[in-house]
Homo-oligomer: A and B are copies of this chain.
Amino acid sequence: MGKLKVLFHLNEPEKWQGTFSSIINFVKDVGQENADIEVVANGAAVSAFSEKCRIAGGSGETSTSCGKATGELYEEMNKLAQMGIRFVACRNALRMHSLDENMLPPFITVVPAGITEIAKKQAEGYAYIKT
């Protein structure tokens, strides 16, 4: 059997934690070597990447507008990225939220349009999961 290919789509900042839990549980279940996982964030989900949120996260505070403090979010994302999980952000969404893509950590790939990425991955056989 080939790897189980899964694309997670989130467009709300509150959904990051649930997405991480889903990924961790999935990887535990099938084994890291059998999972091929990509996470695409568009819409308001990218607002969690703002520096304000990152600072709030760093100081241990949380901000309601961030969904989850970004310092912590980046840490968890970084751990998952080390395991081979790919994180993709939509450039349109970053612009809409006035976010500079050069400020994003290196493990986040920016694509011109999140929807194109999601459509292409499904055409390549990835299962789609909306969190």
Residues of chain B lying within 8 A (CB to CB) of residue A9 = 129-130
Do A127 and B123 form a contact, CB below 8 Å, given A6-B115, A115-B6, A116-B30? yes
Residues of B within 8 A of A115 (CB): 6, 22-23, 25-26, 29, 129
Whether the pair B4, A120 counts as a contact (CB closer than 8 A) is yes
Copies of this chain: 3
The residue among A113, A114, A120 with the most chain B CB atoms within 10 A of its own CB is A113
Q: Could you mark each residue 92-129 of chain A with 1 if its beta carbon is under 8 Å from any beta carbon of chain B, else 0?
A: 10001000000000000000111110111011010111
| A residues contacting the other copy or chain, number (CB 8 A) | 35
B128 contacts A26, C-beta separation under 8 Å: no
